[in-house]
Amino acid sequence: MRRICTALHTAAIMAVMTAMIASTAGAQGTYHQTKPLDPANIDTTCAPCTNFYAFANGGWLKANPIPAAYAQWGSFNELAEANNDKLKLVLEDAAAHRTTASDPSIRKVGNFYAACMDSAAIEKAGYDPIKPSLAEIAAISTPADVKKYLITRAAEGRDILFRFGSTQDAKNSSQVIAGIGQGGIGLPDRDYYFKTDAHTAAVRDAYVKHIANDLVLVGEAPAKAQADAQSILALETSIAGSHLTRVQMRDPQLTYNRKTPAELAALAPGFDWKAFFAAEKVPGSTAIDVSNPRFLTAVDSLLNTVPVSTWKTYFTWNLVSRAANTLSSPFVNEAFAFNQNLTGAKEQLPRYKRCIAATDRAMGEALGKAYVEKYFTPEAKARANAMVNNIKAEFRSRLASRTWMSDSTRKMAYAKLDAFAQKIGYPDKWKDYSALTIAPGGSYYANSVAVAAFNNADDVARIDKPVDRTRWGMSPPTVNAYYNPLMNEIVFPAGIMQPPFFDPNADDAVNYGGMGAVIGHEMSHGFDDEGAQFDAQGNLKTWFTATDLANFKAKTAAYADQFDTYTILDSLHVNGKLTNGENIADLGGLTIAYAALEKALGNKPRTKIDGYTPEQRFFLAWAQIWRSNTRPEAARLQVATDPHSPDMWRVNAPLSNMPAFAEAWGCKTGSPMARPASESVAIW
């Protein structure tokens, strides 16, 4: 979430990630950073060698309490905020010209945003928009009807029990095949159904109450709604029992299970796969990657044993829950009230901010095209490309200096680095929205349904075809970046190439500690515990020698062990295995960006700015990117679900392993920010 992601390898998983962003990210207010690196953010009463995060950010943390509508407030929010101001102008312009704009995509964007903003029409309609679907569910009377309903909704892009879409074949990455992923649960992770601690138990109780409230809103009697909510929780608990954990989902070997149609039918014999593939308009598919076969078998069994009446209430809840944010305020308020248990936010975002985010999710490349035309210059693109090339050259020298790796593995590593595709700013080929109808006067709900169907059709049309390398997994305004192991590509949307990550007015030290380290981070993902399992062509294939692989695994395991010892909220432990890839990427990215800075500085005198050397400013820049205040609810959610470590540890952990940091700040070996060499980890 909102965090320099590594892209995962199935469309289904990507959908999960997107939902996470929607639930917690956002922005507000007006933000103007006056200096590339502001000394006012520093708390000089904290010793940099004891807690560098607190030293670098203490002033800012005290002066910036979390605004009521946010789960967390930090530099990402501030930048997203500045972006929102721009997107609002783009969208208001699109809405004002939605009948006259020459670009049909802009007319659709304008219609979508205008319908979302039309709260009077939305309030007046209540839940009328979903009444036909509720009637459809009410008419279900047999197990065959239950399965038919699942198939029809999936073909409309509304997967209910499992996720279906296109995915690259991990062992033949030039080819796109069908993919099926686990789904069917409404809480953020399988563990929420099983953990017995007080917080999780309270979330579960609130969830049952929330389901019951939603059912009452669409006309159920309170007593029945309460009983139905309990049976929905029981059903979801059965489904969750067969889910892989998030740590398991990071294992690309475990989640690669290429099946023939006959093998798929054997996994879930009670489901009419022929009808399913026909409805999805890919009847001839011969290969299906099932990320979790055990899940599919479990769901198949549930379809044959759970009463039809339970499925009907489950479908009703699923429909209401998905539609809630496009309906009238009782539905929106109910969804927000439950979400507060997970985010701690005190109030809702203003409507226009929710509508900006919704439009970006719905038609991100149409909105993004208008955004970059206005706010992203060819100069910015050229500078970013140059920086990527610098960091890449430095990465190559690092590969040359790794003594734990043999020359034969090194040769393969060079090949992988040289094959990296880099995408900067925005796609060369924009997504074609001509098959999407967003007519003037359509309801917000109807538009959302149209978008889901369009995106599903667009996605499944890629199945059984060669991979399209022009596609992007994030919209251009996104404040984030990613590495995709199957494409072997690094991608930097225009949105992140702004202060505090990249500032044309800043000195090199600040830009290398910001954007440089972010670029290094994404490149390192190609060589993290997961990415390193893919070769230069993006195929899941071991290219390390056995000895080198053992060396590499010992290092990554030692780094995971370090993170297992870190806590937040006093006693909540970071999950070292879940966050291993991101942590390796941070350490690699910082190490390489630092080396690139040293090369750029060469023998030039180390002129201080605001009292700090360039080397110190490099580390301050990294630390200040991660400044954030986080509500306890959101911190718990992050530790349970997010592959990224909490912000303080993204700063203190990698820096305490870097001799260059200790040198820059004069930290004595053994101080909290300077591990002894015997305990330090250096991978890339």
Please identify every residue annotated as catalytic: 522, 586
Question: Which stretch, 2-10, 82-90, 423-431, 440-448, contacts Zn ion (CB under 5 A)?
Answer: 2-10
The residue among 132, 135, 150 whose CA lies nearest residue 306 is 150
Cβ nearer to Zn ion, comparing 24 with 443: 24
What's the closest the beta carbon of residue 556 comes to Zn ion, in angstroms?
A: 15
Q: Which of 1, 90, 358, 585 binds Zn ion (CB under 5 A)?
A: 585
The residue among 371, 417, 413, 416 whose CA lies nearest residue 393 is 417
Question: Which stretch, 4-12, 145-153, 231-239, 496-504, contacts Zn ion (CB under 5 A)?
Answer: 4-12
Asked if 583 is part of the footprint of Zn ion (rule: CB under 5 A), the reply reads no
* Phi/psi of residue 163, nearest 5 degrees: -100, 135
Question: Which stretch, 6-14, 31-39, 42-50, 510-518, contacts Zn ion (CB under 5 A)?
Answer: 6-14
The residue among 386, 398, 403 whose CA lies nearest residue 595 is 398
Q: How far apart are CA 94 and CA 558, in angstroms?
A: 52
Asked if 524 is part of the footprint of Zn ion (rule: CB under 5 A), the reply reads no
What is the size of the binding site for Zn ion (CB under 5 A)? 4
Question: Which stretch, 416-424, 504-512, 557-565, 578-586, contacts Zn ion (CB under 5 A)?
Answer: 578-586
At a CB cut-off of 8 Å and minimum separation 6, what does 434 contact?
Answer: 104
At a CB cut-off of 8 Å and minimum separation 6, what does 105 contact?
Answer: 363, 366, 369, 433
The residue among 303, 502, 242 whose CA lies nearest residue 391 is 502
Cβ nearer to Zn ion, comparing 548 with 582: 582
Cβ nearer to Zn ion, comparing 424 with 585: 585
C-alpha dist (Å) from residue 600 to 251, 326, 498, 608, 661: 38, 51, 21, 16, 18
DSSP 174-190: EEEEEEEEE----SSSG
What's the closest the beta carbon of residue 470 comes to Zn ion, in angstroms?
A: 22
What's the closest the beta carbon of residue 626 comes to Zn ion, in angstroms?
A: 13
Question: Which stretch, 114-122, 208-216, 357-365, 579-587, contacts Zn ion (CB under 5 A)?
Answer: 579-587
C-alpha dist (Å) from residue 420 to 219, 312, 513, 524, 536: 55, 48, 22, 11, 8
Q: How far apart are CA 542 and CA 300, in angstroms?
A: 34
Asked if 539 is part of the footprint of Zn ion (rule: CB under 5 A), the reply reads no
Cβ nearer to Zn ion, comparing 6 with 656: 6
Cβ nearer to Zn ion, comparing 460 with 517: 517
3-state secondary structure of 498: coil
Residues 66-85 that bind Zn ion (CB under 5 A): none
Cβ nearer to Zn ion, comparing 16 with 302: 16
Query: Mask: binding to Zn ion, 215-254, rule CB under 5 A, as x and -?
Result: ----------------------------------------
Asked if 155 is part of the footprint of Zn ion (rule: CB under 5 A), the reply reads no
The residue among 646, 576, 578, 571 whose CA lies nearest residue 197 is 571
C-alpha dist (Å) from residue 335 to 73, 219, 239, 517, 679: 21, 17, 22, 37, 47
Contact between residue 544 and residue 409 where contact means Cβ atoms under 8 Å apart: yes
DSSP conformation class of 428: S
What's the closest the beta carbon of residue 4 comes to Zn ion, in angstroms?
A: 4
Structure tokens at 424: 């900067």
Cβ nearer to Zn ion, comparing 250 with 353: 250
Asked if 4 is part of the footprint of Zn ion (rule: CB under 5 A), the reply reads yes
Q: How many residues does the chain have?
A: 684
Asked if 6 is part of the footprint of Zn ion (rule: CB under 5 A), the reply reads yes
Residues 405-424 that bind Zn ion (CB under 5 A): none
Asked if 27 is part of the footprint of Zn ion (rule: CB under 5 A), the reply reads no
Question: Which stretch, 102-110, 236-244, 577-585, 622-630, contacts Zn ion (CB under 5 A)?
Answer: 577-585
What's the closest the beta carbon of residue 73 comes to Zn ion, in angstroms?
A: 21
The residue among 587, 598, 555 whose CA lies nearest residue 651 is 587
Cβ nearer to Zn ion, comparing 8 with 367: 8
What's the closest the beta carbon of residue 122 comes to Zn ion, in angstroms?
A: 37
What's the closest the beta carbon of residue 604 comes to Zn ion, in angstroms?
A: 32
Asked if 517 is part of the footprint of Zn ion (rule: CB under 5 A), the reply reads no
Count Cβ atoms within 10 A of the Cβ of residue 292 and give its class: 0-12 exposed, 13-18 middle, 19 or more buried. buried
Asked if 515 is part of the footprint of Zn ion (rule: CB under 5 A), the reply reads no
By CB under 5 A, name the binding residues for Zn ion. 4, 6, 582, 585
